[in-house]
């Protein structure tokens, strides 16, 4: 069975109106959100992996969205974190537009296929303007979780 984003997005890893001053601080806060789930064995190593991936190439994929991701053995299973930003940030995005939504995906070294399927699913979801608008107008963590869940149900 394919994992869904709604299965790996812990409520503790969702933050609305994240207040970050730059890309690095946003990414570090996102890793801290993931760590709040208790499922990250080495937070510093995960930060290193995510920042290293970002240095290779910006994960700002356009339309106000960044999709930072990495594979590491400091997690036992795929994890996701999501933040909407209080103030849009310059992310060196492909379309040069600032980012308002960050969805971080961390996978295990041993399950690249699943990681790629999840990335592809996320890309389709946030490729939808209606989905992005709903995310940005979400009032609570529960709104966000229900949005992912219902979107995935419709397309299951």
Q: What is the CATH number of domain 5-154?
A: 3.40.930.10
Residue 110 vs residue 66, higher pLDDT: 66
Structure tokens at 1: 């069975």
Residue bearing the bigger pLDDT, 90 or 37: 90
Tell me how far apart the alpha carbons of residues 101 and 88 are, in angstroms, rounded to a whole number: 8
Question: What is residue 156's predicted lDDT score, i.e. its pLDDT?
Answer: 63
Tell whether pTM > 0.75: yes
Helices (H) and strands (E) in the chain, counts: 6, 6
């Amino acid at each position: 069975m394919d994992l869904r984003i709604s299965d790996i997005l812990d409520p503790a890893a969702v933050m609305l109106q994240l207040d970050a001053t730059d890309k690095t601080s946003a990414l570090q806060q996102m890793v801290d959100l993931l760590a709040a789930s208790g499922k990250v064995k080495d937070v510093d190593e995960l930060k290193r992996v995510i920042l290293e991936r970002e240095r290779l190439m910006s994960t700002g994929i356009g339309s106000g969205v960044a999709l930072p991701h990495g594979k590491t053995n400091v997690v036992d299973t795929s994890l996701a974190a999501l933040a909407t930003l209080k103030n849009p940030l310059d992310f060196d995005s492909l379309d040069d537009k600032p980012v308002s939504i960050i969805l971080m995906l961390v996978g295990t070294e041993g399950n690249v296929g699943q990681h790629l399927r999840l990335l592809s699913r996320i890309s389709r979801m946030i490729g939808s303007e209606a989905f992005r608008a709903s995310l940005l107008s979400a009032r609570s963590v529960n709104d966000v979780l229900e949005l992912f869940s219902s979107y995935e149900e419709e397309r299951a």
